[in-house]
Structure 1
């Protein structure tokens, strides 16, 4: 770990020119005393780092102490820098590694690419933490020890023991054969098999994990994108799905269809409204989707959904009624 920190320290000085011990400590997440010891170690190893005293002093490298990566063109460098801003690596516990890698790439770029690529990357924002309505996109937190153990088992091809918590049930230990890791909207999933059957585990529900020495029973090659699509299809086709008959304003058809799992039938009524038979994941999903459309859609069946929406509307009306 110290070797990695020493490399990062050199790269920080290369990129910024001069930094104080406090600034380096913040970047490296260590104490200023540790930074000073690292500076001494670098000097002893022959790295030309020197100190400048005074108000604007700090540590710097002798000019020209640099290597260049000449195999990248400008667009390739830009792509790497933009990729470094994605939060997916955080889900898999690789955030610090990705930041270090991006620092190394930026440092090694030819001088002619460095400034333009860095400026261009500042004008591209990928997956901000909030959307236009200021709703914060909250990433699920997974302990580093857990995600590191899971990641090791996936890469090494070893069996994995996980202490998994299913909502409403007591957590239990399971031994699985890990296949790969997937992140969707900052939520991490482990794709695995258990006793030969496909299983998908949410990383945030893994309370503890242990990589085993026994080889995992899995194919040598895997198409994760295809595997994820197949599991998503099975998930949508199972569970407590409900089918609903809906009349909807044509202007809001897209909003309805976007929230539904599938559209089974569609026709146009005499008044121009559309009549669709659609499926939702479960009763809560159906009620939520229809509530979003307000009076632009009407659930014709089943009756329990009409009753539920009417009671919800009545409760809202009562809440905002005239005060007594």
Structure 2
């Protein structure tokens, strides 16, 4: 770990020219005291790093210093393989490894290309945390200690002991056979089996994890994309699904279809131009939430309980805003 950090420190100084101890600590995610100790270690090892004092001072390398420090370790190489999604790297606990690997990639570029690449990167923003309406993308935070242990068990093919908090249940310890990791819209999932049955666990609900020495019972090869599709299908077709018949303004059809599990039937527009659609939702809460989003651009025809629930909700809102503050 320290050797990788020392390499990253040298690469940061080569790429930025001069950085303060505070800036280095922020980049390396360590304390300034650790940075100072690392600087001393580099100097003792013969790396020509020196300090510039003053308001704009910091640490720098002697001009022209070169060293072959660009070898990627396992986690850095793995981070590059999932770098198509920055959020994927973060979800799997590889964020710092990705940053370290990218520093090595930049350092390996010819000097004539390095400046061009750095300028190009400033012109690209991929998968920002908010959209144009300032809505934040939901990215679940998972402790590094948990996701690292889960990831090691997946790669090693060992059984995994997890302390898992399922929805509306007290946390319980479970021993599972890990198959793979999946990230969807910033949310990470562990695909596994338990006593031979398929199980899917949200990483954010794993409170603690420990890799066991016992080999996992799983096939040598797995089509993770197919496995995820099969589990998604079972999830959508199970549970307390709700079927809703609704009249929908055509301009909002896409919004409703995008939230429903499926469109069972769709008829031509009524005399007023609205569509009649039969849709399936995961449960009653899902149905009420989806139709509420459309406000007066949709009308539930059936079931009656959903009409009543939406009416009562609207009445309560009207009462709230009908009273002067």
Distance 2:233 2:250 in 1: 27
Return closer, same or farther for 1:199/1:84 CA change in 2, 3 Å cut-off: closer
Q: Given that residues 265 and 278 in structure 1 are in contact (C-alpha distance below 8 angstroms), is that contact kept between their aligned partners in structure 2?
A: yes
User: For residues 105 and 98 of structure 2, what CA distance do their matches in structure 1 show?
Assistant: 10
SS of structure 2 residue aligned to 1:188: strand
Residues 83 and 149 of structure 1: CA distance in aligned 2, closer, same or farther (over 3 Å):
closer
Q: What is the aligned partner in structure 2 of residue 248 from structure 1?
A: 248
- Are 1:134 and 2:134 counterparts? yes
- Structure 1: distance between partners of 2:292 and 2:94: 40
Mapping 1:293-304, distance limit 5 Å: 293-304=294-305
Counterparts in 2 of 1:69 and 1:230: CA distance versus 1, 3 Å: farther
Partner of 1:73: none
Q: Which residue of 1 aligns with 2:308?
A: 307
Separation of aligned partners in 2, 1:208 and 1:300: 47
Confirm or deny that 1:171 pairs with 2:171. yes
Which string of whole-angstrom CA distances, capped at 9 and with x for unpartnered residues, describes residues 255-292 of structure 1?
22111111111112540321111101111111111111
Instruction: State how far apart, in whole Å, the 2-side matches of 1:169 and 1:83 are.
Output: 35
| Structure 1 residues 113 and 177: CA distance shift in structure 2, 3 A | same
Counterpart in 2 of 1:89?
89
Q: Output aligned runs, 1:73-112, within 5 Å.
A: 83=83, 86-112=86-112
Change over 3 Å in CA distance of 1:276–1:25 after alignment to 2: closer
The alignment's C-alpha RMSD in Å is 2.4
Question: Taking structure 1 as reference, are residues 65 and 160 closer, same or farther at Cα in structure 2, changes over 3 Å only?
Answer: same
The question of whether the paired residues in 2 share the 8 Å contact of 1:160 and 1:176 is answered with yes
Aligned to 1:118: 118
1:21-40 counterparts in 2 under 5 A?
A: 21-40=21-40
Q: Which moved more, 1:97-106 or 1:248-257?
A: 248-257
Structure-2 separation of matches of 1:117 and 1:170? 50
Whole-Å separation in 1 of the counterparts to 2:31 and 2:253: 58
1:294–1:66: structure 2 CA closer, same or farther, 3 Å change rule? Answer: same
Provide the aligned length of Structure 1 versus Structure 2: 314
Deviations 1:192-243 (A, max 9, x none): 0111111100111111111010111111122222211111111111111101
Q: Residue 321 of structure 1 aligns with which residue?
A: 322
**Residue matched to 2:290:** 289
**Quick check: 1:67–1:108 contact (8 Å CA) kept in 2?**
no
- Who is 2:146 aligned against? 146
Determine if contact 2:11/2:103 at 8 Å carries over to the other structure. Answer: yes
Judging changes above 3 Å, is the alpha-carbon distance between structure 1 residues 295 and 18 closer, same or farther for their aligned structure 2 residues?
closer
Structure 1 window deviating more from structure 2 (292-301 vs 42-51): it is 42-51
Superposition TM-score, scaled by structure 2 size = 0.89
Of 227-236 and 264-273, more deviation after overlay is shown by: 264-273
Structure 1 residue 68: deviation in Å? 8.2
Q: CA deviation at 1:33?
A: 4.0
TM-score of the two chains, using structure 1 as the length reference: 0.89
Residue 265 of structure 2: aligned partner: 265
Residues 117-166 of structure 1, C-alpha deviation per residue, up to 9 Å, x if partnerless? 12111121122122222222242222222111111101100000111111
C-alpha contact (below 8 Å) 2:7/2:69 kept by paired residues: no
1:188: which partner in 2? 188
Paired with 2:213 and 2:263, the residues of 1 have a C-alpha distance of 47
Query: Structure 2, unaligned stretches of length 5 or more?
Result: 71-79
Once the two structures are superposed, the pairs formed by residues 18-57 of structure 1 within 5 Å of their partners are: 18-54=18-54, 56-57=56-57
